[in-house]
Amino acid sequence: MNSFASQPLRAIAALALSISAIGNAAGAAPAPAEPARLTVSGSQLLTPDGKPIWLRGFNWGRWGTALPEDGVANGQRGANVVRLPFRWYFNGPKADIRQTGAPGNLSPAGLAKLDETVRWATEAGLWVVLFAGSDKGAGDSRENNYWNDPALKREFFDTWAFVVQRYRNTPRIAAYELLSEPHPKKPVTTPQLRGFYEELITHIRRYDTRTPLMIGPNDHYDIGQLQGVHTRVDDKVIYATNFYLPTEYCKPSRRGDHNPNPIVYPGPYRDRRGVARQLDAAALAAALQPALDFRERNKVPVFIDQIGCVSAAPGVLPYTRDLLALMRKHQMHWAFWTYRVYHAGPDEHGLWYDDGKGWKLKTELDAVLRAAMVP
């Protein structure tokens, strides 16, 4: 018996079986069929009717910022997927919905908000990638994380078992992303990260054998480390990676001493080692190549789960246009980071921002994203 199957989960399962048996004996109508899911076919994802689908859309990444109208508005822009979080053992206490001992180890208020947000997306016809944002468990905490605290790991596994059972009959769940941006500190190795994923996949498959699962590489989803987490324990796995490249451009505050002024796209810059580089469409293509090579080598789907630079980056509109043209060219699945940000100004991430005076739309960025999302 799996060591992570808790006593409460066993009791819930036994009760469900008893109720089912009573209903069948009384001639009750059979339970409704489980909603169809996407399927993994080599490097492609297929719709329930067997047609290839190219996922493109937004992150609703900042907990609690989504509004009821956002699902419809995303669809009107051409999006067909939304990536949204449940924050669990997370650095931001207002966003962290972990509550040990509650059903699913999730606070009732947080669970209600999660249910509501999933409903807004699915009722608008969007596919949902539901991800666990757990910065402390993923590596921020050296003292208590998923590689050195067995009790914490068991609780996290039980939470995932609860989540997949809760949304078992929810339509349009595209995938469950098991742990966003893992970054365990040494001496934890990439093989140990892969082992963690494989153990969690095996646990989840006790409760849900149909929904694709999503995993990603070490060091905050480093695109160059995808091969290290490739697994054969399940044939319904999607691989996630970020694309904030080059970091010196996408995050101007981290441009380094070799670039005294913000880097302009397109144009020259120096990387962290001081080597002169050119930043243009060809450089973006080269930066994406590791994901393309991984996809072709292993015949698995890849999802760029976070894409987009801060709006303060000079030339961010042509950068975004060129990068999303690559996504289209290679039919690479992607989600823009992020749809809404609050307590923010126009220079930060986000298509919509709230600077304390109401929501404001970045209209030029909106036009670029709409054009990139056209089927």
Contact between 123 and 75 under an 8 Å Cβ cutoff? The reply is no
CA angle 181, 295, 177 (to 5 degrees): 30
- Domains in the chain with CATH codes: 35-373 (3.20.20.80)
Q: Hey, what are 317's tokens?
A: 């509109």
Q: Percent of the chain beyond pLDDT 90?
A: 87
- pLDDT tens per residue, range 97-114: 999 999 999 999 999 999
Q: Hey, what are 244's tokens?
A: 């904030």
What pLDDT, on a 0 to 100 scale, did the predictor assign at position 32? Answer: 64
- pLDDT tens per residue, range 215-236: 999 999 999 999 999 999 999 9
Residue owning tokens 């997370």 = 90
What pLDDT, on a 0 to 100 scale, did the predictor assign at position 19? Answer: 37
Question: Is 26 a residue whose pLDDT tops 90?
Answer: no
pTM of the model: 0.91
What pLDDT, on a 0 to 100 scale, did the predictor assign at position 28? Answer: 52
Question: Is 240 a residue whose pLDDT tops 80?
Answer: yes
- pLDDT tens per residue, range 256-308: 999 999 999 999 999 999 999 999 999 999 999 999 999 999 999 999 999 99
Contact between 97 and 75 under an 8 Å Cβ cutoff? The reply is no
Contact between 78 and 373 under an 8 Å Cβ cutoff? The reply is yes
Report DSSP state, residue 19: H
Contacts 24+ apart (CB under 8 A), 186-192: 188/139, 188/147, 190/217, 190/218, 190/225, 190/228, 190/229, 191/228, 192/147
Cα distance between residue 224 and residue 310, in whole Å:
22
- For the chain, what is the mean pLDDT? 92
- pLDDT tens per residue, range 145-183: 999 999 999 999 999 999 999 999 999 999 999 999 999
Contact between 40 and 235 under an 8 Å Cβ cutoff? The reply is yes
Where is pLDDT greater, at 16 or 142?
A: 142
Helices assigned H by DSSP within 1-149 = 7-25, 70-76, 108-123, 135
Range with lowest mean pLDDT among 4-18, 43-57, 118-132, 266-280 = 4-18
Confidence of residue 13 (pLDDT cuts 50, 70, 90): very low
What pLDDT, on a 0 to 100 scale, did the predictor assign at position 33? Answer: 80
What pLDDT, on a 0 to 100 scale, did the predictor assign at position 233? Answer: 98
Q: SS3 of 323, please?
A: helix
DSSP assignments along 150-208, one per residue: HHHHHHHHHHHHHHHHHTTT-TTEEEEE-SSS--PPTT--HHHHHHHHHHHHHHHTTT-
Average pLDDT for 339-347: 95
Cβ neighbours for 28, distance < 8 A, ≥ 6 positions apart? none
Q: Percent of the chain beyond pLDDT 70?
A: 91
